[in-house]
Amino acid sequence: MPKKTAEAGPTRILTVLWEWRMQFIVLLVSCGLLGAIFGVLQRNHGQNTEYWSLSGMSLNALVATLSAILRAMILGILEEVISQHKWIWQLTPRPVRHLSHIDQASRGLWGSILLPARLRAWFSYSYIGCLLVLLSIGVGPFSQQAVGTKICDKPVPNAQAKLPYTYSGVPTSRVGAGNYITEPGLTSAVIGASTGAINVNPSTLLEGCSTGNCSFPSIIGDVSLSTMGICSKCIDTTHYIREWTVNETTIVGLPGLANFTDGTTARSNFFSVKQYSIEWAQDDFDEDFLSVLAASVDNHTFLAATEQ
């Protein structure tokens, strides 16, 4: 008889463990998912996000999906354990309502929170399961917190950071009394910018700067670079064009600006630079235009004629 009892002991343990085989399998899969999350994070640590691609799923979405499955599996095991513990709890004579309390704890978060107050016991193994249910809430947020991106500078081989810049304002030349015209270089630049006929090559910012995040030599004290931000606002002044005749010559022009004879020949002030009032167009000034007009540096009015 003692020998038979000794053989029955291990057999009974194996039988009980076999009944929990699905829970053990789920536990192993959960460990695999946890390892997969760590593996994905380690594999992509320090890598560019543009290189990550998995059927259009982002890295955050993948980690969130794995963590959601992990939490669901953990909760499934905990619910089974807590539910089974109610029978162990009742091995000692206790109120029957405790069965309902433990069963509610196995079904959701609220029951797990209230279980210690309902059982009024100093300790129960089911408390450990309830605590793990509460801690499982942090699986999703903390897994998302583990995924983060930051901006970093990396040199681009055989690249050079460039930006157009100017050294001075508008160069002018005087050709007659009260008459100033722009230099040929600026004239060609304006024509190129207006028609797109000229490709402007940007100037190199700094030799050896391949990232675009460059350091400039100091000019005065700690000042290394001076820049001026420019905003613009345009209005259509076509309807202000007037046509009149002088000495049997037809002249087309805008108030105080360039005039054209026969539609092709410049009468005066071709690409001129001078001070003049633009009040003649004030009827078309909207609130946005008026807001930038007070701080304007240059006001340009273009009058052009086609060959037709």
**Per-residue pLDDT tens over the stretch 54-102:** 666 778 888 888 888 888 888 888 888 888 878 877 778 778 788 788 7
Q: How far, in Å, CA of 2 to CA of 290, rounded?
A: 105
Q: How far, in Å, CA of 163 to CA of 107, rounded?
A: 64
Q: What per-residue confidence (pLDDT) applies to 269?
A: 46
36 pLDDT band, cuts 50/70/90, is confident
Is pLDDT of 110 > 80?
yes
Looking at the structure, tell me whether residues 24 and 120 fall in a common domain: yes
Q: Percent of the chain scored above 70 by pLDDT?
A: 62
149 pLDDT band, cuts 50/70/90, is confident
The arithmetic mean of pLDDT across residues 173-186, rounded, is 58
231 pLDDT band, cuts 50/70/90, is confident
Note whether residue 81 is domain-resident. Answer: yes
Note whether residue 5 is domain-resident. Answer: no
Asked if 276 contacts 256 with a C-beta cutoff of 8 angstroms, the reply is yes
Looking at the structure, tell me whether residues 210 and 232 fall in a common domain: no
Looking at the structure, tell me whether residues 127 and 37 fall in a common domain: yes
Is pLDDT of 242 > 80?
yes
Grouping H, G, I as helix, E, B as strand and the rest as coil, residue 268 is strand
The arithmetic mean of pLDDT across residues 155-174, rounded, is 60
* Candidate ranges 33-37, 74-78, 148-152, 292-296; pick with highest mean pLDDT: 33-37
Predicted model pTM: 0.44
Looking at the structure, tell me whether residues 69 and 167 fall in a common domain: no
- Strand 242-246, strand 203-204: pairing: unpaired
Is pLDDT of 179 > 60?
no
Q: What per-residue confidence (pLDDT) applies to 267?
A: 46
Tens of pLDDT along 38-66? 888 888 777 777 666 666 677 888 888 88
Q: How many CB atoms lie within 10 A of CB 269?
A: 19
* Domain coverage including residue 276: 228-308
Looking at the structure, tell me whether residues 138 and 171 fall in a common domain: no
The arithmetic mean of pLDDT across residues 227-243, rounded, is 78
Q: Which of 119, 145, 171 marks a domain boundary? A: 145
Note whether residue 62 is domain-resident. Answer: yes
Looking at the structure, tell me whether residues 33 and 113 fall in a common domain: yes
Looking at the structure, tell me whether residues 190 and 287 fall in a common domain: no
Looking at the structure, tell me whether residues 31 and 127 fall in a common domain: yes
Q: What per-residue confidence (pLDDT) applies to 166?
A: 55
- In the chain, the number of structural domains is 3
Note whether residue 185 is domain-resident. Answer: yes
Q: What per-residue confidence (pLDDT) applies to 176?
A: 54
Looking at the structure, tell me whether residues 183 and 210 fall in a common domain: yes
Q: Which of 145, 180, 207 marks a domain boundary? A: 145
Looking at the structure, tell me whether residues 165 and 266 fall in a common domain: no
Note whether residue 25 is domain-resident. Answer: yes
Q: Which of 210, 225, 240 marks a domain boundary? A: 225
Looking at the structure, tell me whether residues 23 and 126 fall in a common domain: yes
Q: What per-residue confidence (pLDDT) applies to 273?
A: 57
Note whether residue 28 is domain-resident. Answer: yes
Q: How far, in Å, CA of 60 to CA of 39, rounded?
A: 14
Note whether residue 2 is domain-resident. Answer: no
**Furthest-apart CA atoms within the chain: distance in Å:** 140
Looking at the structure, tell me whether residues 101 and 37 fall in a common domain: yes
Is pLDDT of 167 > 60?
no
Task: Return mean pLDDT, the chain.
Answer: 72
